[in-house]
Chain A
Amino acid sequence: DIQMTQSPSSLSASVGDRVTITCRASQGVSNSLAWYQQKPGKAPKLLLYAASRLESGVPSRFSGSGSGTDYTLTISSLQPEDFAIYYCQQYYTTLTTFGQGTKVEIK
């Protein structure tokens, strides 16, 4: 199985900050990479797919980039509603796998 490692595991940031979360795959996943946001007690929500394609309805402050094994999720200006846990997922292989999550907390 492809292992997905996110960094950092958690971070503290202020409203208006630029935030970057990294996801590294144990082998190349050819941009078959999705990002999700999960708030407490709620189901995850798809933010981006194909590494950089924004899901319909998702604010443009969210963006994704990367290639090969290394991908990033960037929030250009953190908003109060963005405090949550973020997960990456590779779907390059049928046996899809998630990263362990990155918790974004209020500083």
Chain B
Amino acid sequence: EVQLVESGGGLVQPGRSLRLSCTTSGFTFGDYAMGWVRQAPGKGLEWVGFIRSNAYGGTTEYAASVKGRFTISRDDSKSIAYLQMNSLKTEDTAVYYCTRVPGSYLFYFDYWGQGTLVTVSS
């Protein structure tokens, strides 16, 4: 059974950093791209970014709203994806979902974690 479990969320002050982890199981992690999608309270879905598999260079793409502040990485030996969030703003407050991308270049999301809440507030 495919499982994605996010951790690392919490309350953080504006300007500070936070790192989210996505621990996976049930599939060969290294074969898949992984993505992050967020949802502000009461709002819709917003794509954050994704990281390709190492077979495709392990390269990353980011939404304009987080580019330069957020970094996605992966550890294939541990089957974990990370989202490093720096210079956090109040508008980054959201539930962050880890997602699996079923194809190497078709970036929709077939599995989602349960989400972790990040609250940016002073």
Cβ–Cβ contact A55 & B110, under 8 A: yes
Tell me which of B44, B46, B64, B108 contacts A34 (CB under 8 A).
B108
Answer yes or no: B97 CB below 8 A from chain A CBs. Answer: yes
Cβ contacts A36-77/B at 8 Å (1 or 0 each): 101000111110010000010000000000000000000000
Q: Is the CB of B110 within 8 A of A43?
A: no
Q: How far is the CA of A23 from the CA of B46 in the complex (A)?
A: 16
A27 within 8 A of B: no
A94 vs B113: C-alpha distance when bound (angstroms):
22
Query: Is B45 engaged at the interface, CB distance under 8 Å to the other chain?
Result: yes
Look across to chain A and name the residue whose beta carbon is closest to the beta carbon of B110.
Answer: A46
Tell me if B107 and A46 are in contact (CB < 8 A).
no
| CB proximity to A under 8 Å, residues B100-120 | 102, 106-115
- Nearest CB on B from A32, distance (A): 7
Is A91 a contact of B106 with CB atoms below 8 Å?
Answer: yes
Instruction: Say yes or no for A79: interface residue by CB 8 A criterion.
Output: no
Contacts of A98 in B (CB 8 A): 44-47
Whether A44 contacts B106 by the Cβ 8 Å rule is no
B45: which A residues are within 8 A, CB to CB? 36, 38, 44, 87, 89, 98, 101
**A96 adjacent to B107 (CB under 8 Å):** yes
Contact check, A101 vs B44: say whether CB atoms are below 8 A apart. Answer: yes
Query: Contact between B108 and A95 (Cβ–Cβ < 8 Å)?
Result: no
- A46, closest chain B residue (CB): B110
Distance between A89 CB and nearest chain B CB, rounded to angstroms: 6
- CA of A87 to CA of B63 in the docked complex: distance in angstroms? 18
Cβ of B61 within 8 Å of any chain A Cβ, yes or no, is yes
**Which residues of B have CB within 8 Å of A55?**
110
Q: For A100, list chain B residues within 8 Å (CB).
A: 44
Binding site for A on B (CB under 8 A): 37, 44-47, 61, 63-64, 97, 102, 106-115
Nearest 9 A-B pairs (CB), nearest first?
A: A43-B112, A34-B108, A98-B45, A91-B107, A101-B44, A91-B108, A100-B44, A96-B47, A46-B110
Q: Return 6 A-B CB contacts under 8 Å, by A number.
A: A32-B106, A34-B109, A46-B110, A95-B47, A95-B64, A99-B44
